[in-house]
Chain A
């Protein structure tokens, strides 16, 4: 009882830490009982808790005993599986060495226990109150779409992708994909080479390799629909024939508005976007091929952009995979803070 009274007397400080490729973003919100008082954001050139970062965080946290430090889990051994049942969990993933939680009794997200300990160890000077999975962040960010759509949802972070496929709030597939950002100078691609690479891509990307697209080809060419195992009805085929009907007009309008605030970069970071595209492509491949997952045909892809992807990624996805791509700009630290607030409430 006294604790609640004291909580009302003191301001609440939410410290949100997002670890990027070579930097760390610290976003701080100071709240009182009526709401947000101040918010501050600072970037530090370190992946760990530097002295500068420690002093910056301590300058806010020392004012109140009611401060909460949240971290977005960036470990590579995390993921999500489409069940909450303990008996079925083993079918998808061995979680004996993992920390896992069930999301609204629908799906499970997990991470390695050692990674959780490592985070706690690295930040032991300031302490850690919450470690959130990027899948939770993604589910919360796209909750308006996830609940009603069948689509792929991707959270793009610097150095990683959290990819998930939802069908009306039921998770079908999820994977956390790490990118290889350490590209040597020899491997760097000049702007002059881009056109050449695109040309190569046109030639080299064999659509037959992608099972889903292979199916599409078959749908387009083959008149005998009964041979297609995945498609049960003609209605679905109609939908596949006419992509425009599946487009999310509302999201497109929102995206156009978003574009004005956060214009998508052109060609910059092309290497990264190509990597992202490759990773998405292989993940989709796995989703369609792996029998463990309930396959559904994906037409839309929603991207929560936390880094500022270039237009290339959208183009690759649209042109090569024939997906309707919607990109929403996402403030990772701000979204992390939203989840922390949800957790506290």
Chain B
């Protein structure tokens, strides 16, 4: 400002049009950058979520395996318990049946329940009562029946009855004749 009363306005490339243009481009670039950063963040979050989900899935599958194993175990236990229950029921029924089989005149002193058989110790007034009232139903139940007697002090007879049930496959494999023979043999032995 040498001669002029006023100072000249500052000259700049940033005319109002340029300012508008630069604001427009600035906002556009800011929005693009913002979108890029947002996507970058979302991508990071997605990767993180994916790894978390994969981890969770693995944990869940491991839990599922454990649960399946425990289910199998429980099922096995259930089967076992059912078997035991059935066996017990059968045993109870067997015992009940056994006591039902024993007539009033025969006195049992000992009974042994075996897996595939029954051993009875007792006193019978005579052989006939035993043979007709006890042995006959025992024979209908068991496949093999062995009886042995020895005299008691009061004139009655102590008896030991050993009864066996053959396994089914044995029965299936053996012909019926043989079974009958065996029974006859037993009878002979008893005599």
Residues of B within 8 A of A65 (CB): 11-15, 18
Residues of A within 8 A of B175 (CB): none
CB of B1 closer than 8 Å to a CB of A: yes
Cross-interface CB contact of B9 among A116, A127, A136, cutoff 8 Å: A127
CB of B155 closer than 8 Å to a CB of A: no
Residues of B within 8 A of A67 (CB): 11
Q: In the complex, A277 Cα to B11 Cα: how many Å?
A: 44
Q: In the complex, A329 Cα to B9 Cα: how many Å?
A: 32
Q: In the complex, A114 Cα to B11 Cα: how many Å?
A: 25
Interface string of B14-41 (1 = CB under 8 A from A): 1100100000000000000000000000
B4 touching A132, Cβ below 8 Å: yes
Q: In the complex, A321 Cα to B15 Cα: how many Å?
A: 56
B15 touching A133, Cβ below 8 Å: no
A120: min CB distance to chain B, Å: 7
Cross-interface CB contact of A73 among B1, B5, B14, cutoff 8 Å: B5
Residues of B within 8 A of A343 (CB): 1-4, 8
Q: Is the interface of A mostly helix, strand, loop or mixed?
A: mixed
Interface string of A1-45 (1 = CB under 8 A from B): 001001100000000000000000000000000000000000000
A114: min CB distance to chain B, Å: 12
A130 touching B12, Cβ below 8 Å: no
Q: In the complex, A175 Cα to B8 Cα: how many Å?
A: 27
CB of A128 closer than 8 Å to a CB of B: yes
Cross-interface CB contact of A101 among B5, B11, B13, B15, cutoff 8 Å: B5
Interface string of A106-144 (1 = CB under 8 A from B): 000001000010001000000111111100100000000
B12 touching A99, Cβ below 8 Å: no
Cross-interface CB contact of A131 among B4, B9, B14, B18, cutoff 8 Å: B4
B29: min CB distance to chain A, Å: 21
- Return the chain B residue nearest A70 by Cβ: B4
CB of A234 closer than 8 Å to a CB of B: no
Residues of B within 8 A of A205 (CB): none
A66 touching B2, Cβ below 8 Å: no
Residues of A within 8 A of B172 (CB): none
CB of A68 closer than 8 Å to a CB of B: yes
A132 touching B8, Cβ below 8 Å: no
Residues of A in contact, count (CB < 8 Å) = 26
Residues of B in contact, count (CB < 8 Å) = 14
| Known contacts A6-B13, A65-B11; is-contact A131 B2 (Cβ 8 Å) | no
A131 touching B6, Cβ below 8 Å: yes
A159: min CB distance to chain B, Å: 20
B5 touching A342, Cβ below 8 Å: no
Cross-interface CB contact of B8 among A6, A101, A129, A342, cutoff 8 Å: A129
Cross-interface CB contact of A132 among B3, B11, B12, cutoff 8 Å: B3
Residues of B within 8 A of A131 (CB): 4-6
A59: min CB distance to chain B, Å: 15
- Return the chain B residue nearest A344 by Cβ: B8
- Return the chain A residue nearest B3 by Cβ: A136
Chain B 43-58 interface residues, beta-carbon cutoff 8 Å to A:
none
Interface string of A163-188 (1 = CB under 8 A from B): 00000000000000000000000000
A172: min CB distance to chain B, Å: 21
A133 touching B12, Cβ below 8 Å: no
| Known contacts A6-B13, A66-B11; is-contact A120 B6 (Cβ 8 Å) | yes
B73: min CB distance to chain A, Å: 82
CB of A240 closer than 8 Å to a CB of B: no
A130 touching B13, Cβ below 8 Å: no
Residues of A within 8 A of B8 (CB): 68, 129-130, 343
Q: In the complex, A103 Cα to B2 Cα: how many Å?
A: 8
Most buried by A among B4, B14, B15: B4
CB of A339 closer than 8 Å to a CB of B: yes
Q: In the complex, A236 Cα to B152 Cα: how many Å?
A: 194
Residues of A within 8 A of B14 (CB): 65
A133 touching B3, Cβ below 8 Å: yes
Q: In the complex, A68 Cα to B13 Cα: how many Å?
A: 14
- Return the chain B residue nearest A110 by Cβ: B5
Residues of B within 8 A of A99 (CB): 5-6
A129 touching B9, Cβ below 8 Å: yes
Residues of B within 8 A of A120 (CB): 6
B64: min CB distance to chain A, Å: 69
B11 touching A130, Cβ below 8 Å: no
Instruction: Name 9 interchain pairs, CB-CB below 8 A, sorted by A.
Output: A99-B5, A101-B4, A116-B6, A130-B4, A130-B8, A131-B6, A132-B4, A339-B3, A342-B3
Question: Assuming A65-B13, A129-B9, what are 17 further A-B pairs, CB within 8 angstroms?
Answer: A7-B11, A65-B12, A65-B18, A67-B11, A99-B6, A101-B5, A111-B5, A116-B5, A116-B6, A120-B6, A130-B3, A130-B8, A131-B4, A131-B6, A133-B3, A136-B3, A342-B3
